[in-house]
């Protein structure tokens, strides 16, 4: 295994220093870090962050390998500075058995570019009717800790209560896709002035907020952990703030696109801006940024959702919801200027690693810590060119935008997955 | 999106007609004036004009709408355009060819204009990105139906002599109505005052930001209007609890003889068709001399001729 | 009808008056009135006293010219021949090149044109394409016994085998020149001006 000497990196914004990476761990930090024969990486002006951890990634394999594979998604993740991703369960077949989650986990190991941690489905086939074998997935080789029907809400309150209770046995967490389905029948776009004008069925904020409020109360009642996926409204931030204040064990994530874009993008009817939950308003964006900075929202998660061209190059209402996110997440968060380097490390690495129970991730580079880290050039900018992204799909909402920050290198357990801004495989 | 360019030199509209918002007052008035001249020509023995000879107009209909298709077909044929009718059954992507592939086919055929009717809001906007010809929105989902609004405005102007300052009530299922959206925009552009009337469940969220007034009380509005337009209300809405029953809807929002008497002497009654007689409009009201429902159909051809002429007449 | 502008127009016959470098008044208000009188007489001669005659002006300036001719015929003969308007926009062959134009008004006398002697009236005869369009438009409106053409100015450069039966004034022009006809009804004064395209014309 090659030894690397990273010279002149600023660890989470601190004074520049050197890092020695050997045998999968950070062997030494400081000006005296040196080793004969080490490959030197000039990190002058670069920021070293603990490898980013994504709580919410769709890798599409098995089932839609035309849109993304574990390999292509892993490459995108590494290029985005990630060292761990939680792969959502809505594949085909659904990841609702130990067999499927182990398959995804093994594909991730084989790809070797990022730690792929499968998320297990809460209910069989995501149908919301009966619990999947959560325990079997937890004790499988994939060691599943996060369970989610993401894409669907576990809307039956009784079933949700049972799931919250059941996963306590193995320290699991239910990640809820908060969407009251009866309030979002046929919904296409944030319910507001624009949905009315464009004649697209509205997706009201209350459909998210009602479920978050209900589930927070349920989690408090049964003393379980609850995680809320892709929080999108100002009202949700308020509810989560109140729940935390009441001592409920609730965590929440926000996507980069909900931190930047608003429903105004839908005016063109270009489905690249169709996503679930939908893009909201300026007020919501401001509340989400503030909530993230404050810690009411614990983590940034990409909800990276690749879709084949034919699922986006069509009429808005027939298009699938979702956007690419892995390769642009860090730059988008930087562009919002709402977090310091420490804030970025906290919201994009340390806290999500804790939520997902990933001990080897989310730790700032220090002697003895597993070498999962990324080097970012904060001064570089780049223009998003969909065809140049590593994802097999092209559905980025940021095409043509110039973004700040460029991932120059990423290390997974001491091995480079990205060097000179290019994936190593 | 700016679809129509105003050019003093050409004095007309070019590009596409996707939304009534694409028309400013001058462009909308030009359409109505042109339609008026064309209507005068329709009385003569030879109805056909050579204007669009050699041009191809495709009627791309993803929804059954015989009346709209025939209206566009008659308009295009009276201007001597070649008309290709392309009806696509079924509207989901899983069935048959995608809109984009169809668009590329039409592009290859050299369509100068594509008149599209589609169940999905915004489908014409998507199509406009994929074809070079002019796209005319003939009704998209619950979004807009700009030529219907133009023919309604034409009908109002020819009956009442003006549009500026008219008070127009549009009654019924505004939420799902493309006719209401286009009319609200166009009539506002042309200086009329629009009031949208219906049960709160059928007025869209955010309607307060539209350039209109709203009311839940039809009887209070009627004495002040010059025009009352009843929208088609689909009975299925009842199943989805937008209102309790057809009977209650008719009682609160249906145009019947008693309500007709509340209108000012000169006021007219309009309906975009097809009507649910006995639901949003009583049969004797639909057939009364105040009703313009038959005229609306005739005016539709002149207005669509004007739109096709103005969009295609100058296209190289 | 008074033509108050004629004096002013004569005064401004030079370039300085209008600020345009190469504009020259070739027909002033008084000339124009005499020309209309002459054409009216010629029509009377050549159409057997303008019996069954219909004067159809081609918008924009052909329409007031047709009305003036009708009025002069009335002054000479004591009866007013019907005058109307024939818009040819929808029959033009240059729409693709020049863009959709506002459609003008067509206004036929109540008795129509079947069996009548139709005299088309326009301000300037140039390529002949407008007249061709008018002949096409006419055939869709009825079947005249005879069609003639009266123009205020013939500037040459015909592109079609078309000639005028009545010409107010032949003005040989170069293609870089423009003939501007102004009429009181449409422009506030009567005159015909020859303009250099660069210097003056629209």
Phi-psi region of A107 (alpha: psi -120 to 50; beta: other; left: phi over 0): alpha
d(CA B227, CA B153): 11
Question: For chain B, what percent of residues have pLDDT higher than 70?
Answer: 93
Considering only CB atoms, C102 lies closest to which of B34, B49, B51, namely B34
A220 and A202, same domain (yes or no): yes
Residue C20 falls inside a structural domain:
no
Touching subunits for chain B (3+ Cβ pairs under 8 A): A, C
Give the full edge-to-edge strand order of the sheet including B82-87.
B82-87, B56-61, B113-118, B134-140
CB A402 within 8 A of CB A382: yes
The mean pLDDT value for A305-330 works out to: 97
Length of chain A, in residues: 425
B121 and B165, same domain (yes or no): no
Pick from A185, A187, A190, A199 the residue to mutate for testing the B interface (most B CBs within 10 Å). Answer: A199
Q: Which residues of A touch B140 (CB under 8 A)?
A: 199
Considering only CB atoms, A191 lies closest to which of B178, B205, B209, namely B205
Residue closest to A408 by CA, chosen among A425, A422, A421, A423: A421
Considering only CB atoms, A193 lies closest to which of B100, B122, B206, namely B206
CB B111 within 8 A of CB B97: no
Predicted complex ipTM: 0.91
Contact B33 C102 (CB under 8 A): yes
**Range(s) of the domain holding residue A403:** 4-47+368-423
Q: Which residues, in sequence order, are bridge partners of residue A115?
A: A84
Domain count, chain A: 2
Task: State the smallest CA–CA distance between residue B218 and chain A in angstroms.
Answer: 22
Residue A363 falls inside a structural domain:
no
A13 and A75, same domain (yes or no): no
B164 and B267, same domain (yes or no): yes
For A84-99, how does the pLDDT look when each residue is reduced to its tens digit (9 = 90+)? 999 999 999 999 999 9
Among A352, A379, A409, the domain boundary falls at A352
Contact A268 B125 (CB under 8 A): yes
Residue C45 falls inside a structural domain:
yes
Identify the pLDDT of residue A203.
98
d(CA A105, CA A400): 34
Q: Work out the mean pLDDT of chain C and round it to a whole number.
A: 86
The two three-digit tokens of residue A336, written as one number: 């919002």
At residue B194 the predicted structure's pLDDT band, cuts being 50, 70 and 90, is very high
For residue A202, give the 3-state DSSP assignment: strand
For B257-296, how does the pLDDT look when each residue is reduced to its tens digit (9 = 90+)? 999 999 999 999 999 988 999 899 999 999 999 999 989 9
d(CA B286, CA B273): 10
What is the crossing angle of helices A234-245 and A282-294, to 10°? Answer: 30
Q: Which residues, in sequence order, are bridge partners of residue B255?
A: B281
Residue B103 predicted with pLDDT over 90 = yes
For residue B153, give the 3-state DSSP assignment: helix
Q: DSSP per residue over C141-191, as a string?
A: H---SEEEEEEEEE----SSS---SEEEEE----TTEEEEEE-HHHHSS-E
Task: State the smallest CA–CA distance between residue A232 and chain B in angstroms.
Answer: 19
For residue B81, give the 3-state DSSP assignment: coil
At residue B314 the predicted structure's pLDDT band, cuts being 50, 70 and 90, is low
3-state per-residue secondary structure call for B189-218: HCCCEEEEECCHHHCCCCHHHCCCEEECCH
B151 and B290, same domain (yes or no): yes
Identify the pLDDT of residue B20.
97
Q: Which residues of B touch A190 (CB under 8 A)?
A: none
Neighbours of C110 (CB within 10 A): 6
Residue closest to A273 by CA, chosen among A423, A98, A399, A89: A399
d(CA C88, CA C141): 12
B180 and B139, same domain (yes or no): no
Identify the pLDDT of residue A371.
98
Rounded to 5 degrees, φ, ψ at A355 are -60, -40
Question: For chain C, what percent of residues have pLDDT higher than 90?
Answer: 73
d(CA A84, CA C95): 64
Identify the pLDDT of residue C102.
82
CB A267 within 8 A of CB A193: no
d(CA C155, CA C122): 12
**Residue with structure tokens 């038959």?**
B294
A172 and A201, same domain (yes or no): yes
Identify the pLDDT of residue C21.
53
Identify the pLDDT of residue A31.
82
A316 close to B (CB below 8 A) = yes
A88 and A28, same domain (yes or no): no
Contact B310 C99 (CB under 8 A): no
A42 and A87, same domain (yes or no): no
Residue B7 predicted with pLDDT over 50 = no
Q: Which residue of C has its CA nearest to B43?
A: C141
For A337-372, how does the pLDDT look when each residue is reduced to its tens digit (9 = 90+)? 999 999 999 999 999 999 999 999 999 999 999 999
A107 and A33, same domain (yes or no): no
Identify the pLDDT of residue B2.
33
For residue C9, give the 3-state DSSP assignment: helix
Residue C63 falls inside a structural domain:
yes
Residue B15 falls inside a structural domain:
no
d(CA B253, CA B275): 14
Residue A214 falls inside a structural domain:
yes
A153-171 burial: b if 16+ Cβ within 10 Å, else e: bbbeeebbbbbbbbbeeee
A125 and A178, same domain (yes or no): yes
Element containing residue A249 per DSSP (H, E): none
Contact A197 B178 (CB under 8 A): no
Catalytic residues of A: 303
Identify the pLDDT of residue B77.
96
Where is average pLDDT lowest: A109-123, B231-245, C91-105, C178-192?
A: C91-105
The mean pLDDT value for A157-168 works out to: 98
Pick from B5, B30, B34 the residue to mutate for testing the C interface (most C CBs within 10 Å). Answer: B34
Residue A358 falls inside a structural domain:
no
Residue closest to C124 by CA, chosen among C156, C76, C86, C79: C156
Distances (CA, A) of A208 to A181, A205, B241: 9, 6, 22
B51 and B118, same domain (yes or no): yes
d(CA C62, CA C151): 8
Neighbours of C84 (CB within 10 A): 21
Residue A218 falls inside a structural domain:
yes
Residue A297 falls inside a structural domain:
yes
Burial class, B42, CB count within 10 angstroms (exposed 0-12 / middle 13-18 / buried 19+): middle
**Residue with structure tokens 């995501």?**
A126
Identify the pLDDT of residue A34.
83
Residue C151 falls inside a structural domain:
yes
Residue B93 predicted with pLDDT over 60 = no
Identify the pLDDT of residue B14.
64
A119 and A186, same domain (yes or no): yes
Residue B24 falls inside a structural domain:
yes
**Range(s) of the domain holding residue B104:** 20-144+298-312
d(CA B65, CA A354): 58
Identify the pLDDT of residue C13.
36
Touching subunits for chain A (3+ Cβ pairs under 8 A): B
Residue A361 falls inside a structural domain:
no
Residue C78 falls inside a structural domain:
yes
Contact C106 B41 (CB under 8 A): yes
Touching subunits for chain C (3+ Cβ pairs under 8 A): B
Contact B209 A193 (CB under 8 A): yes
Length of chain C, in residues: 202
The mean pLDDT value for A245-270 works out to: 97
A196 close to B (CB below 8 A) = yes
Residue A126 sits in a domain of what CATH number? 3.20.20.140
The mean pLDDT value for A397-409 works out to: 98
CB A134 within 8 A of CB A147: yes
The mean pLDDT value for B227-255 works out to: 91
Phi-psi region of A229 (alpha: psi -120 to 50; beta: other; left: phi over 0): beta
List the Cα angle B183/B187/B193 in 5-degree steps: 115
Q: Is B274 annotated as a binding residue?
A: yes
Q: Work out the mean pLDDT of chain A and round it to a whole number.
A: 97
Identify the pLDDT of residue B236.
80
Q: Is A372 annotated as a binding residue?
A: no
Residue A359 falls inside a structural domain:
no
Residue B196 sits in a domain of what CATH number? 3.40.50.1370
Identify the pLDDT of residue A332.
98
Residue A117 falls inside a structural domain:
yes
Residue C180 falls inside a structural domain:
no
Domain count, chain C: 1
Task: State the smallest CA–CA distance between residue C46 and chain B in angstroms.
Answer: 30
The two three-digit tokens of residue C167, written as one number: 């010409």
Residue C8 predicted with pLDDT over 60 = no
At residue B88 the predicted structure's pLDDT band, cuts being 50, 70 and 90, is confident
B182 and B283, same domain (yes or no): yes
d(CA A123, CA A132): 5
B123 and B166, same domain (yes or no): no
Residue C5 falls inside a structural domain:
no
Identify the pLDDT of residue B64.
86
Neighbours of B164 (CB within 10 A): 10
Q: Which residues of B touch A192 (CB under 8 A)?
A: 205-206
**Between residues 172 and 191 of chain A, which touch chain B (CB distance below 8 Å)?**
188, 191
Residue C111 sits in a domain of what CATH number? 3.40.50.2020
B94 and B151, same domain (yes or no): no
**Range(s) of the domain holding residue C46:** 26-174
Residue B1 falls inside a structural domain:
no
């Amino acid at each position: 295994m090659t030894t690397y000497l990273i010279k002149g990196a600023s660890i989470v914004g601190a004074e520049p220093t050197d890092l020695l990476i050997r045998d999968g761990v950070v062997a030494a930090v400081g000006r005296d870090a040196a080793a004969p024969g080490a490959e030197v990486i000039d990190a002058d002006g670069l920021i070293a962050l603990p490898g980013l951890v994504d709580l919410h990634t769709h890798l599409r394999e098995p089932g839609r390998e035309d849109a993304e594979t574990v390999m292509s998604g892993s490459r995108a993740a590494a290029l985005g500075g990630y060292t761990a991703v939680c792969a959502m369960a809505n594949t085909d077949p659904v990841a609702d058995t130990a067999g499927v989650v182990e398959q995804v986990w093994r594909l991730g190991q084989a790809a070797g570019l990022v730690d792929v941690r499968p998320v297990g489905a809460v209910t069989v086939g995501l149908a919301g009717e009966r619990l999947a074998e959560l325990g079997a997935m937890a004790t499988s080789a994939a060691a599943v800790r996060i369970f989610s029907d993401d894409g669907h809400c576990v809307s039956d309150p009784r079933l949700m209560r049972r799931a919250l209770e059941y996963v306590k046995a193995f320290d699991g967490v239910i990640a809820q896709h908060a969407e009251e389905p009866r309030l979002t029948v046929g919904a296409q776009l944030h319910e507001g002035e624009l949905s009315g004008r464009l004649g697209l069925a509205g997706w009201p904020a209350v459909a998210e907020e009602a479920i978050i409020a209900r589930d927070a109360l349920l989690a408090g009642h049964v003393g379980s952990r609850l995680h809320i996926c892709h929080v999108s409204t100002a009202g949700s931030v308020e509810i989560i703030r109140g729940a935390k204040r009441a001592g409920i064990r609730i965590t929440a994530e926000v996507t980069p696109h909900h931190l930047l874009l608003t429903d105004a993008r839908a005016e063109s009817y270009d489905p690249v801006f169709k996503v679930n939950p939908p893009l909201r308003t300026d007020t919501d964006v401001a509340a989400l940024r503030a909530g993230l900075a404050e810690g009411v929202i614990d983590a940034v998660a990409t909800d990276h959702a690749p879709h084949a061209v034919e699922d986006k190059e069509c009429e808005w209402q027939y298009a699938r919801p979702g956007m690419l996110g892995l390769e642009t997440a860090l730059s988008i968060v930087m562009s919002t200027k709402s977090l310091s380097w420490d804030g970025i490390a906290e919201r994009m690495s340390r806290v999500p690693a804790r939520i997902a129970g990933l001990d080897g991730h989310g730790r700032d580079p220090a002697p003895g810590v597993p070498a999962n880290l990324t080097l970012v050039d904060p001064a570089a900018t780049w223009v998003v060119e969909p065809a140049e992204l590593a994802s097999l799909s092209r559905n980025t909402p940021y095409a043509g935008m110039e973004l700040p920050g460029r991932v120059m290198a990423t290390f997974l357990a001491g091995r480079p997955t990205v060097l000179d801004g290019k994936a190593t495989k | 999106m700016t679809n129509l360019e105003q050019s003093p030199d050409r004095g007309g509209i070019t590009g596409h007609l996707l939304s009534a918002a694409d028309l400013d007052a001058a462009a909308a008035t030009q359409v109505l004036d042109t339609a008026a001249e064309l209507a005068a020509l329709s009385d003569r023995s030879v109805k056909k004009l050579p204007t669009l000879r050699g041009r191809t107009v495709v009627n791309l209909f993803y929804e059954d709408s015989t009346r709209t298709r025939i209206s566009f077909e008659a308009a295009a044929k009276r201007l001597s355009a070649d008309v290709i009718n392309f009806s696509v059954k079924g509207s989901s992507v899983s069935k048959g060819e995608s809109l984009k592939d169809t668009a590329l086919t039409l592009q290859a055929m050299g369509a100068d204009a594509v008149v599209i009717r589609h169940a999905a809001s915004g489908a014409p906007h998507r199509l406009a990105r994929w074809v070079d010809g002019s796209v005319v929105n003939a009704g998209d989902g619950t979004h807009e139906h700009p030529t219907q609004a133009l023919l309604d405005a034409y009908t109002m102007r020819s009956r009442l002599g003006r549009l500026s300052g008219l008070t127009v009530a549009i009654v019924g299922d505004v939420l799902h109505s493309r006719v209401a959206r286009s009319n609200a925009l166009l009539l506002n552009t042309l200086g009329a005052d629009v009031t949208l009337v219906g049960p709160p469940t059928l007025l869209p969220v955010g309607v307060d930001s539209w350039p209109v007034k709203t009311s839940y009380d039809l009887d209070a509005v009627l004495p002040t209007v010059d025009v009352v337009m009843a929208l088609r209300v689909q009975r299925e809405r009842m199943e989805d609890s937008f209102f309790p029953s057809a009977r209650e809807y008719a009682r609160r929002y249906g145009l019947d003889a008693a309500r007709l008497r509340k209108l000012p002497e000169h006021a007219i009654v309009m309906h975009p068709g097809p009507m649910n007689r006995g639901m949003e409009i009583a049969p004797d009201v639909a057939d009364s001399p105040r009703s313009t429902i038959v005229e609306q159909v005739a005016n539709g051809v002149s207005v669509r001729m004007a739109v096709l002429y103005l969009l295609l007449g100058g296209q190289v | 009808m008074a033509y108050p502008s004629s004096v002013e127009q004569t005064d401004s016959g030079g370039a300085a008056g209008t600020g345009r470098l190469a504009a020259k008044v070739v027909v002033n208000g008084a000339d124009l009135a005499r020309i209309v009188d002459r054409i009216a007489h010629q029509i009377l001669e050549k159409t057997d006293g303008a019996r069954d005659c219909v004067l159809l002006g081609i918008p924009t300036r052909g329409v007031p010219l047709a009305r003036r001719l009708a009025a002069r015929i009335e002054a000479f003969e004591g009866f007013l021949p019907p005058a109307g308007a024939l818009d040819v926009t929808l029959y033009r062959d240059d729409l693709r090149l020049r863009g959709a134009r506002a459609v003008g008004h067509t206004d036929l006398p109540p008795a129509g044109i079947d069996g009548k002697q139709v005299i088309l009236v326009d301000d300037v005869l140039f390529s002949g394409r407008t007249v061709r369009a008018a002949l096409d438009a006419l055939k869709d409106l009825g079947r005249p016994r005879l069609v003639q053409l009266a123009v205020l100015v013939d500037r040459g450069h015909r592109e079609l085998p078309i000639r005028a039966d009545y010409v107010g004034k032949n003005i040989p022009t170069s293609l870089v020149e423009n003939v501007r006809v102004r009429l009181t009804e449409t422009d506030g004064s009567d005159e015909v001006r020859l303009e250099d395209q660069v210097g003056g014309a629209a």
